[in-house]
Structure 1
Amino acid sequence: MFMTEGWLAVFESRQRGPCADRALVLTSLSIAHEIVEAAGLWQLLVAETDLHRARHELWLYEQENKPTRRRPSATVVSNHNPWPGVAGYIVTVCVVAWLAGNGAFGHNWLEAGRVDGALIRDGEWWRVITALTLHKDVGHLLGNLGFGGLFGLLAARVIGSGVTWLTVTVAAATANALNTIMLIPSHRSIGASTAVFAALGLVAGFVWRGRLMAQDRWPYRLGPIIGGIALLAYTGTGDESTDIGAHLGGFVCGFAGGFLLTRAAAVFERASVQWLCGAAAPLLVVVAWWLALSGH
Structure 2
Amino acid sequence: MFIRNENFKQYINAYPVVSSIIAINLIVYIMTLIPGIGDIIFYGGMSVNGLIAEGEWWRIVTSMFIHAGFMHVLFNMFSLFLFGPELEKIAGKVRFITIYFIAGLSGEAATFLLKEPTYASVGASGAIFGVFGAFGAILYHNRRTTPQLRQILLPIIVISVIMTFLQSNVNAASHIGGLVGGFILGLVYFTPKNMLRWRKY
Same fold, TM exceeding 0.5?
Answer: yes
Q: Is the 8 A contact 1:93 1:133 kept in 2?
A: yes
After TM superposition, give the deviation of residue 177 of structure 1 in Å.
1.6
Query: Percent of aligned pairs with the same residue?
Result: 22
Unaligned runs of 5+ in 2: 1-12
Q: Is the 8 A contact 1:168 1:202 kept in 2?
A: no
Q: Is the 8 A contact 1:96 1:134 kept in 2?
A: yes
Instruction: Check 1:238–1:149 CA distance in 2 against 1; reply closer, same or farther (3 A cut).
Output: farther
Instruction: Check 1:122–1:234 CA distance in 2 against 1; reply closer, same or farther (3 A cut).
Output: same
**Deviation digits for residues 83-123 of structure 1 (CA, Å, limit 9, x no counterpart):** 21221121111111122222686861111111101011122
AA aligned to 1:129 is: V
Out of 129, 141, 144, the residue aligned to residue 73 of structure 2 is: 141
Unaligned runs of 5+ in 1: 1-80, 272-296
Out of 256, 259, 271, the residue aligned to residue 187 of structure 2 is: 259
Structure 1 match to 2:168: 240
Structure 1 match to 2:83: 151
AA aligned to 1:165 is: I
Aligned equivalents of 1:198, 1:168: Cα separation in 2: 6
Structure 1 match to 2:122: 190
Instruction: Check 1:142–1:186 CA distance in 2 against 1; reply closer, same or farther (3 A cut).
Output: same
Q: Does residue 114 of structure 1 match 2:46?
A: yes
Structure 1 match to 2:9: none
Using structure 2 for the length normalisation, give the TM-score. Answer: 0.78
AA aligned to 2:57 is: W
Q: Secondary structure of 2:67's partner?
A: coil
Structure 1 match to 2:25: 93
Structure with greater strand share of residues: 1
Aligned equivalents of 2:117, 2:131: Cα separation in 1: 27
Q: Which has the larger radius of gyration?
A: 1
Residues 1-296 of structure 1 mapped to structure 2, 5 A cutoff: 83-102=15-34, 108-209=40-141, 211=142, 213-215=143-145, 223=150, 226-227=154-155, 229-263=157-191, 264-265=194-195
Aligned residue pairs total: 185
Instruction: Check 1:101–1:248 CA distance in 2 against 1; reply closer, same or farther (3 A cut).
Output: same
Aligned equivalents of 2:196, 2:52: Cα separation in 1: 37
Using structure 1 for the length normalisation, give the TM-score. Answer: 0.55
Aligned equivalents of 1:91, 1:267: Cα separation in 2: 32
Structure with greater helix share of residues: 2
Report the RMSD for the aligned CA atoms in angstroms: 2.9
Aligned equivalents of 1:164, 1:143: Cα separation in 2: 20
Q: Is the 8 A contact 1:147 1:196 kept in 2?
A: yes
Q: Is the 8 A contact 1:206 1:261 kept in 2?
A: no
Q: Is the 8 A contact 1:198 1:251 kept in 2?
A: yes
**Deviation digits for residues 236-272 of structure 1 (CA, Å, limit 9, x no counterpart):** 344321111211111111111111112544676698x
Q: Is the 8 A contact 2:32 2:38 kept in 1?
A: no
Aligned equivalents of 1:270, 1:176: Cα separation in 2: 36
Q: Secondary structure of 2:190's partner?
A: helix
**Deviation digits for residues 139-167 of structure 1 (CA, Å, limit 9, x no counterpart):** 11100110122221221121123321232
